[in-house]
Structure 1
Amino acid sequence: MRILIAPDKFKGTLTGVEAAAAMSEGALRVYPDAVVTTLPVADGGEGTLEAAVAAGFEEHMNAVVGPIIKPVGAAWAIHQDTHVAVIETAQASGYLLSEPTVENALRAHSYGSGQLIAAALEAGATEIIIGLGGSAMTDAGSGALRALGLKLLDAHGNLVPLGGGSLLDVATINASGLDPRLAGTKIRMAVDVDNPLYGYNGAAHVFGPQKGADADAVEKLDAGLRHLASLVRAATGVDIDVPGAGAAGGFPSLFTAYANATIERGFDLVAEMVGLDAALNGADLVITGEGSMDEQSLSGKAPIGVADAAHARGLPVVVVAGRITVTAQELAAHGVVAAVSATDVAGSPEAALAEAAMHTARATSEALNGI
């Protein structure tokens, strides 16, 4: 028996690596002679870096400017053979690095994420995967590109302050000082949303309140994004208001105009990065899961992506999650033959959270025993 274990993180309780270890323990209780392979996955947001490191990428740490100026330590990774680097905006520009206040919602920026890109370029990266999610800013990626040489100038030729709240003051975009290595480096933006840059489904309106923006701040941020997009369109002819451009405070948008950047479905990108296809080809059974297997999961989250890829190969799939709110019939459509939650075996959500690894292992054993 060859078992592939490919979970996403159990947000707030277990990382993808920890969840995979717990599932492996539970699987080996039932099949002690099984050959178990663990391969954590992600949707392209938080957890992408961890999945890369688990897949053999070399982790590095850099001191960068956080979303509200204060220096932070941020991790990133590079594969020494392929020269592919992996960066998460949450590491350098994450919402956990700033208080969610109105002032910070307007001031927060992505400059530190640009510093990580610069570090990857310096290390010889020829392709950079950027996992978008968990961000503090709504600056359209302008801070990151400013760290790479882009200048946003006001009507007097002065640099405007960092942050989304200053975008309305931009009169000119000067790209003459951009790092020339950007042109020859493929930048792949991993997103798990399809929100546009601005408007009622855009970065400011949908995600701004989570970052501390009140109604007035949301309107100001949205107007700034709209204004910046019009300047870019006039200067380059590129429309940066496209599906997915609203991820991470609009981070991908400016990159599509000023770098060799594409916006891609996060799970597909991560699956390619960690070698999911090859791992599935060597498996007899697949176990996947996440913290909450719910209706949102069925819309293309990582575990369902794993299940669909396994199902296409005729492989049975087992789901283990912190909680499960979808039906067995809904999961069966994705090739799932058994599904058990840690909450079920623990008896309550509180108990499941208190001993997440133990109950995840128990849930895995129970699911496999039920097949």
Structure 2
Amino acid sequence: MTRVVFAPDSFKGSISAADAAAALARGWSAERPGDVVELLPMADGGEGTVDAFALALPHARRMPITVTGPDGAAASASWLLVPGGRDGDAAVVELASTSGIEMLGENLLPLDAQTLGFGQAIAAALDHGVERLVLGIGSSASTDAGAGMLTALGGNFFDASHTPVQPGLRGLNAVAQADMSELRALPPGGVIVLSDVTNPLCGSRGAAAVFGPQKGLVSEIAEADRTLARFAKLLGGNSDAPGAGAAGGAGFALAAWGATLVPGAGEVARLIGLPQAIAAASVVVTGEGSFDGQSAGGKAPAHVAMIAAAEGTRVNLVAGRIASDVVTAGFAEAVSLTALAGSARSALAEPARWLVQAGATIARAHAD
């Protein structure tokens, strides 16, 4: 009898990690009904991070909240309250569901998207009295260096005439003064930030150059990079620190606040007991929406593969698309939903259907 662990990340904008894991398991079980399957959906700090923690911690409770979305409109969100007994309560807050790019659909706002809503959710958790914060910062819609988030936490940013600046990168470009005198203190147990990238704030690997195009920045990239550099000097902190460029610079702002940045996939994996599950398994199936050059830099599938390699467990990859220039040699099987469906459009239209087929395809290739 084979034990199989399904640990995919979400397929961004298409299907959640939990639903992806379930679909892959259905496909596998259709081919090999006698095998034991275990669903451990993953996250790396981006979309689905709160869901992964909620599944791993059944005593946790979602706390609904209305925030200002990345486009300035009111948006419904929630943060996760994790009762901690004598250690005090903790909160898990996700940028993706409060200030995330998926909240904008196709209406990208490269100069005006903001992180105010993320800060509002953090403030709500602090108001509740939590002792510790765990923050996931992937899937950001903005390149505002976390200024919106800091504003919600008590920071104030002014232009040369001491007028509060507009939200987003547009306002960041006008910042001449930063007043952090009213910035809220960190909770007693500190703040851990789950990041899926290690990029610095500025330069050729920085927030604007690498992630700006995904958010609609084209001709503005060089100016955006200069704006981020000016803001970093104004605020203080280490703009070259790994992860400072995460979430359009929100990683930098959080580190300047005093938070500690850690690889998101590793922290989530530890919490949900993934290393132990993989050690007891014969096969692992992981995946994400797009497996490309960024995937090896801290994304969930790469971390799952690392754990599997250490345990000597066979690992397989399923992705919405697999870039032609990436190496998948570490995976026993690598299946693209785009290839199965015949086109990216078809794969995106029915992700669960093609994930079921992918699970079946990998099961047929497996030999005991």
Q: TM-score, normalization: structure 1?
A: 0.84
- Alignment partner of 1:277 out of 275, 278, 287: 275
Q: Give 1:92's aligned residue.
A: 98
Q: Give 1:248's aligned residue.
A: 247
**Which letter maps to 1:150?**
G
Q: Give 2:67's aligned residue.
A: 64
Q: Give 2:198's aligned residue.
A: 194
Q: Give 2:16's aligned residue.
A: 15
User: C-alpha distance in 2, partners of 1:196/1:327?
Assistant: 24
Deviations 1:324-351 (A, max 9, x none): 56799x545x3x3334444555566555
Partner SS for 1:253:
helix
User: C-alpha distance in 1, partners of 2:157/2:293?
Assistant: 42
Confirm or deny: 8 A CA contact 1:139 1:167 kept in the other structure: yes
How far did 1:268 drift? 1.6
Q: Give 1:130's aligned residue.
A: 135
Confirm or deny: 8 A CA contact 1:190 1:266 kept in the other structure: yes
User: C-alpha distance in 2, partners of 1:315/1:244?
Assistant: 30
How far did 1:206 drift? 3.3
Pair 1:73 & 2:76 matched? yes
Distance 1:29 1:269, change over 3 A: same
User: C-alpha distance in 1, partners of 2:135/2:173?
Assistant: 26
Q: Give 1:317's aligned residue.
A: 315
How far did 1:21 drift? 0.5
Confirm or deny: 8 A CA contact 1:197 1:246 kept in the other structure: yes
Deviations 1:253-287 (A, max 9, x none): 122222x3122222222222333223224433222
**Which letter maps to 2:244?**
A
Mind listing any 5+ residue stretches in structure 1 that lack a counterpart? none
Aligned positions of 1:1-371 closer than 5 A: 1-56=2-57, 57-81=60-84, 83-98=89-104, 104-180=109-185, 182=186, 184-215=188-219, 217-233=220-236, 238-258=237-257, 260-324=258-322, 331-332=328-329, 334=330, 336-343=331-338, 345-346=340-341, 351-371=346-366
Deviations 1:92-137 (A, max 9, x none): 22234448789x4333321111111012223343332222233232
Distance 1:345 1:58, change over 3 A: same
How far did 1:354 drift? 4.3
Deviations 1:70-97 (A, max 9, x none): 2111232232247332222222222344
**Which letter maps to 2:318?**
V
How far did 1:208 drift? 3.1
Query: Greater CA deviation, 242-251 or 74-83?
Result: 74-83
Confirm or deny: 8 A CA contact 1:76 1:86 kept in the other structure: yes
Partner SS for 1:184:
coil
Confirm or deny: 8 A CA contact 1:7 1:303 kept in the other structure: yes
User: How many residue pairs are counted as aligned between the two chains?
Assistant: 360
Deviations 1:273-315 (A, max 9, x none): 3332232244332222223445544455312321220221122
Distance 1:243 1:296, change over 3 A: closer
User: C-alpha distance in 1, partners of 2:96/2:281?
Assistant: 33
User: C-alpha distance in 1, partners of 2:24/2:344?
Assistant: 18
Report sequence identity in percent: 41
Query: What is the RMSD of the two structures over their aligned residues, measured on CA atoms?
Result: 3.0
Confirm or deny: 8 A CA contact 1:318 1:368 kept in the other structure: no
User: C-alpha distance in 2, partners of 1:24/1:194?
Assistant: 32
Confirm or deny: 8 A CA contact 1:165 1:220 kept in the other structure: no
User: C-alpha distance in 1, partners of 2:149/2:196?
Assistant: 20
User: C-alpha distance in 2, partners of 1:19/1:155?
Assistant: 50
User: C-alpha distance in 1, partners of 2:100/2:291?
Assistant: 25
Query: Greater CA deviation, 53-62 or 142-151?
Result: 53-62
How far did 1:214 drift? 4.9
User: C-alpha distance in 2, partners of 1:87/1:171?
Assistant: 30
User: C-alpha distance in 1, partners of 2:6/2:157?
Assistant: 46
Confirm or deny: 8 A CA contact 1:232 1:239 kept in the other structure: no
Q: TM-score, normalization: structure 2?
A: 0.85
**Which letter maps to 2:182?**
G
How far did 1:185 drift? 4.2
User: C-alpha distance in 1, partners of 2:26/2:47?
Assistant: 24
User: C-alpha distance in 1, partners of 2:105/2:27?
Assistant: 39
**Which letter maps to 1:315?**
T
Mind listing any 5+ residue stretches in structure 2 that lack a counterpart? none
